[in-house]
Structure 1
């Protein structure tokens, strides 16, 4: 994954990522990780407003749409000529200002932990201290593929949400330590989402398309 896409996906940390006050016991971590997995498996679709902050402090907003398995769309505000979308297999970064299209396998992105309902989080993720019992932080990375980066998911405990958790956002860190924060609001789970949402208009000349 290139630095440009990693920055787009992955910086001040989330306000929820407060300093730890006590270590997480093995029993607490196991139960909390299972709860996070239950939340992710219980979410077939999600829509939310997002605010993205990069390491330079630049803030962009837009709408996130997710549908499992593997589909996601970051629709940025109208003034931003970029789009990030996955059709279930390929994650694509489109820059309409320069007519550039860059695809990657979705499995090469840290976002795969959000999009694969069959992924066993115990193999790639761990609970990290948040310092606030209302907040659950789960850090995921593939030790065999460090170039994929690392993602820390932030959940708020909410009995009305799938698995008793509400995904608040995440912090993504690429292999060059470029950090990007995504904050979510107005989350809606398991609402109807049309597969056409994950298509895009290819800006490249006809002969230049792969």
Structure 2
């Protein structure tokens, strides 16, 4: 079975830098951006869980789909479409990529990845993020990076203003671009917030020989 290019996709979830679907532009004036960053922070704090369908497009233009399950703090699962032998999952501390085709498991600390923006409750967007201008007043685009660790990459998140979402926002998706210029774009749909989510979602079957099921 072919990998469908997914091994180029998944590492970009772990290591990155921005552009892609969201236009790059100078940040808004700091004073004007503060209320918007506060809104993003309030949204993330209010978003205890989320489920969504996702569409993920890699550097080669190929698109895969699947189901995303998130539970803050720290837990996320990307369950890809049938026939794709890859799983990306975090148990709250470690982001794990499992390739069932070759029985390989790769791991990174969650806080050392762009996904830490979504998952790490200790991160304050006001300290590491900036608001990007948008022609649509109902859209809010935020670029996040850790200037002390450029190797962690940059993640550009897009929100839609919507009173039905936590603190009046709904996460639309994000774009990352790794140090090797591999761009990955994730678009979300059918988002549901603060619904019951089982911890079983954040476990996986370890494909390596003589390994019991893992919580990570």
TM-score of the superposition, structure 1-length normalised? 0.90
Matched, 1:155 2:159: yes
Give the unaligned 5+ runs of structure 1. Answer: none
Q: Conserved in 2, the CA contact under 8 Å of 1:18 and 1:131?
A: no
Label 1:100 to 1:145 Cα distance change in 2 as closer, same or farther (>3 A): same
How far off its partner does 1:206 sit?
1.5
2 CA distance for matches of 1:105 and 1:8? 12
1 CA distance for matches of 2:9 and 2:161? 33
How far off its partner does 1:4 sit?
6.3
1:68 matched residue in structure 2: 72
Superposition pairs of residues 164-179 of structure 1, within 5 angstroms: 164-179=168-183
Q: Conserved in 2, the CA contact under 8 Å of 1:153 and 1:169?
A: yes
Label 1:182 to 1:4 Cα distance change in 2 as closer, same or farther (>3 A): closer
2 CA distance for matches of 1:88 and 1:68? 8
2 CA distance for matches of 1:23 and 1:90? 31
How far off its partner does 1:119 sit?
1.5
How far off its partner does 1:5 sit?
3.8
Matched, 1:7 2:15: no
2:134 matched residue in structure 1: 130
How far off its partner does 1:79 sit?
1.2
Query: Residue 39 of structure 2: SS of its match in structure 1?
Result: helix
1:200 matched residue in structure 2: 204
Q: Conserved in 2, the CA contact under 8 Å of 1:109 and 1:148?
A: yes
1:187 matched residue in structure 2: 191
1 CA distance for matches of 2:45 and 2:122? 8
How far off its partner does 1:12 sit?
8.4
Q: Conserved in 2, the CA contact under 8 Å of 1:19 and 1:130?
A: no
1:51 matched residue in structure 2: 55
2 CA distance for matches of 1:8 and 1:78? 20
Q: Conserved in 1, the CA contact under 8 Å of 2:68 and 2:79?
A: yes
Query: Residue 206 of structure 1: SS of its match in structure 2?
Result: coil
2 CA distance for matches of 1:87 and 1:122? 26
Q: Conserved in 2, the CA contact under 8 Å of 1:12 and 1:180?
A: no
2 CA distance for matches of 1:123 and 1:50? 28
Superposition pairs of residues 74-153 of structure 1, within 5 angstroms: 74-153=78-157
Matched, 1:27 2:34: no
CA RMSD of aligned residues (A): 2.5
1 CA distance for matches of 2:113 and 2:208? 24
Label 1:56 to 1:191 Cα distance change in 2 as closer, same or farther (>3 A): same
TM-score of the superposition, structure 2-length normalised? 0.88
How far off its partner does 1:159 sit?
1.2
